[in-house]
Amino acid sequence: MHIVIIGSGIGGIATAIRLKNRGWDVDVYESNSYPGGKLSEIKIQGYRFDAGPSLFTMPHYVDELFGLCGESPRQFFNYEKLENICNYFWEDGIRLTAFADKELFYKEVYEKLGVEAGPLSKLLDISQKKYELTGRIFLERPLHQIGSWLRFDVLKALFNIHKLDIFTTMHDATKKHTQDPKLLQFFDRFATYNGSNPYKASGILNMIPHFEHHFGAYFPKGGMVSITNSLVELAEEKGVRFHYGQRVNKIQVENGKATGININGQYKPSDIVVSNMDIYPTYKKLLPNEKHPTKILDSERSTSALIFYWGIRKHFPELDLHNIFFSDGYREEFSCLSEGKIHSDPTVYLHISSKLHPADAPVGCENWFTMINVPYDRGQDWDKIISASKHNIVNKLSRVLGVDIAPLIECEEILDPRKIESKTSSFAGALYGTASNDRMAAFKRHGNFSSRIGNLYFCGGSVHPGGGIPLSLLSGKIVDELIDSKYNSNPIK
């Protein structure tokens, strides 16, 4: 039996590997000339940049795919655990290193912020408890199937609902345990991991720090793009066929079932269709004549990103792989994002892969992936925004680092919400599909199967369980188990 997958983002690749391992015949159609979607790379003037996701957590989800296929992950893919997760900078001169070792981190927070270990330890314990109570429920199972809720762990979570902070915001939930403005800002920033606002998003999302501060942060040998490259290599070795430069125009539906796809007028039949394309254009462009889930498609979009890829003619020893330069007006920054604007003092994220992979930049230089959160595209004047934002970013980095950054930039590439949409089909450039700014956000995200169209499934960051590498990989696992359950009558694990 045959399966067609639309799109070769990381979720689509993972789905292809799992389904091929089940014995299905799998073809993947990708409109770009390369795989990976956001998880790709850019090369300019001797510099290499990871184009999109730059934080790697939960590497066992990648390793699992090799193990399923009877292969040793280390023959395809290697990574190292970070001792320093991220460096944080404030305008008042305070610099904080988030060490992977908790005792070192506690000591660092006390020495730099004057906060005893108790509040930080408590917040990390709460993050762990929320993950343990709800992680498998919300992240590893299809929420839109009744069987997922008839389980003991769901009952256990309901008995502990008072511990989940569902009905308060991330910010207010954290504030119950610390009043320190910088520690609050540290925890609030995890809302950006799924494009949300910590002053609006449910406190249950305070489980996110657990991914980083318990499971750890990692760096793949060769950069983030090696995740894509190694999984494509595995998929092809197992017999998955990738077709690049092939834009799907339509999902064919007959008698209430998906029967294949159409590419430039050519019909390609299939027993099952899986869309790894953003859910919005999947319906609007590929299923124009079918009934659409209007409430989901009309939901608030997540934030997007404005990224400057800069080749820098200098080495900065105080910087590490991951660096955050905080805004002095954090609440105002998120208010601006909600209004479709960009704050004049944005928080800047700086990723420098050449710190661990020196070949990514010429000797004595660094490759700066310089990003700020921006609203999704609502028709703003992006050329004007880019110019103003670059000015503000350069000034901010120059102030905090004590070095004029502008003359050090020898090459530049820019990615804004318009280009994100054109390159990855992410509607309006929203990085994570639907935003998670209310307590019912998990249920406003589209499920992994169609309730109206048979044999049609969905994976990737715009559907359940959400955006980012780990969750996109899990979406592939959910789709695989849904299909296996239907065709082999096996229960979903």
Q: DSSP strand E in 15-165: where?
A: 25-30, 41-44, 47-50, 56-57, 79-81, 84-89, 95-99
Are 198 and 269 in a shared domain? no
Q: Is the pLDDT higher at 491 or at 349? A: 349
For residue 181, what is the enclosing H or E element?
helix 181-188
Domain boundary among 164, 194, 215: 215
Q: Decide if pLDDT at 491 tops 70.
A: no
**Does any domain span residue 171?**
yes
Give Cα separations from 183 to 116, 117, 178, 209, 371 (angstroms).
Answer: 11, 12, 7, 13, 22
The DSSP string of 408-425 is GEEEEEEE-HHHHHHHH-
pLDDT of residue 164: 79
pLDDT per residue as tens digits for the range 172-220: 999 999 999 999 999 999 999 999 999 999 999 999 999 999 999 999 9
Residue partners of 261: CB distance under 8 A and separation at least 6: 4, 6, 29, 248, 249, 250, 251, 252, 267, 268, 270, 273, 286
pLDDT per residue as tens digits for the range 303-339: 999 999 999 999 999 999 999 999 999 999 999 999 9
Are 207 and 272 in a shared domain? no
The DSSP string of 231-257 is HHHHHHHHT-EEEET----EEEEETTE
**Does any domain span residue 401?**
no
pLDDT of residue 29: 98
Residue partners of 442: CB distance under 8 A and separation at least 6: 138, 143, 436, 464, 465
pLDDT of residue 166: 86
In whole angstroms, give the CA distance from residue 78 to residue 59: 10
The boundaries of the domain holding residue 140 are 117-215
Place of tokens 């159409």: 262
**Does any domain span residue 274?**
yes
Phi-psi region of 26 (alpha: psi -120 to 50; beta: other; left: phi over 0): beta
Burial 94-107 (b: 16+ CB within 10 A, else e): eebbbbbeeeebbe
For residue 304, what is the enclosing H or E element?
strand 304-312
Q: Decide if pLDDT at 148 tops 60.
A: no
3-state DSSP helix/strand/coil percent for the chain, to nearest 5? 40, 20, 35
**Cα 468 to chain center, whole Å?**
2
Are 206 and 154 in a shared domain? yes
- Which of 281, 108, 266, 261 has the alpha carbon at shortest distance from 186? 108
Are 206 and 257 in a shared domain? no
CATH number for the domain spanning 454: value is 3.50.50.60
Say if CB 170 and CB 112 are below 8 A apart: no
Are 121 and 182 in a shared domain? yes
Q: Decide if pLDDT at 492 tops 50.
A: no
- pLDDT mean over 334-347: 97
In whole angstroms, give the CA distance from residue 346 to residue 457: 38
Domain boundary among 151, 186, 215: 215
With bands split at pLDDT 50, 70 and 90, how would you rate the model's confidence at 236? very high
**Does any domain span residue 313?**
no
Q: Using the 8-state DSSP alphabet, how is residue 407 labeled?
A: G
With bands split at pLDDT 50, 70 and 90, how would you rate the model's confidence at 132? confident
Are 129 and 210 in a shared domain? yes
Residue partners of 297: CB distance under 8 A and separation at least 6: 279, 280, 283, 284
Share of the chain above pLDDT 70, in %: 92
In whole angstroms, give the CA distance from residue 381 to residue 239: 46
Tokens of 480: 């695989």
Are 158 and 207 in a shared domain? yes
Burial (CB < 10 A; 0-12, 13-18, 19+), residue 250, is middle
**Does any domain span residue 276?**
yes
* β-bridge mates for residue 374, sequence order: 304
**Does any domain span residue 366?**
no
pLDDT of residue 442: 52
pLDDT of residue 489: 46
Q: Decide if pLDDT at 34 tops 70.
A: yes
For 45, how many CA atoms within 13 A lie in the half-sphere containing its CB?
Answer: 13
In whole angstroms, give the CA distance from residue 319 to residue 167: 38
- Which of 368, 425, 355, 427 has the alpha carbon at shortest distance from 394? 368
pLDDT of residue 137: 66
pLDDT of residue 224: 97
pLDDT per residue as tens digits for the range 86-128: 999 999 999 999 999 999 999 999 999 999 999 999 999 999 9
- pLDDT mean over 440-448: 73
- Which of 333, 413, 341 has the alpha carbon at shortest distance from 376? 341
pLDDT per residue as tens digits for the range 237-276: 999 999 999 999 999 999 999 999 999 999 999 999 999 9
Give Cα separations from 359 to 69, 212, 352 (angstroms).
Answer: 31, 26, 12
What mean pLDDT is reported for the chain? Answer: 93
With bands split at pLDDT 50, 70 and 90, how would you rate the model's confidence at 133? confident
Give the count of domains, the chain.
Answer: 2
pLDDT per residue as tens digits for the range 366-382: 999 999 999 999 999 99
- Which of 339, 337, 304, 307 has the alpha carbon at shortest distance from 433? 304
pLDDT of residue 181: 97
Are 211 and 127 in a shared domain? yes
pLDDT of residue 439: 64
**Does any domain span residue 239?**
yes
- Which of 240, 279, 246, 278 has the alpha carbon at shortest distance from 263? 246
- Which of 224, 214, 81, 196 has the alpha carbon at shortest distance from 441? 196
Say if CB 273 and CB 251 are below 8 A apart: yes
Place of tokens 């979720």: 11
Residue partners of 63: CB distance under 8 A and separation at least 6: 73, 77
**Does any domain span residue 45?**
no
pLDDT of residue 493: 41
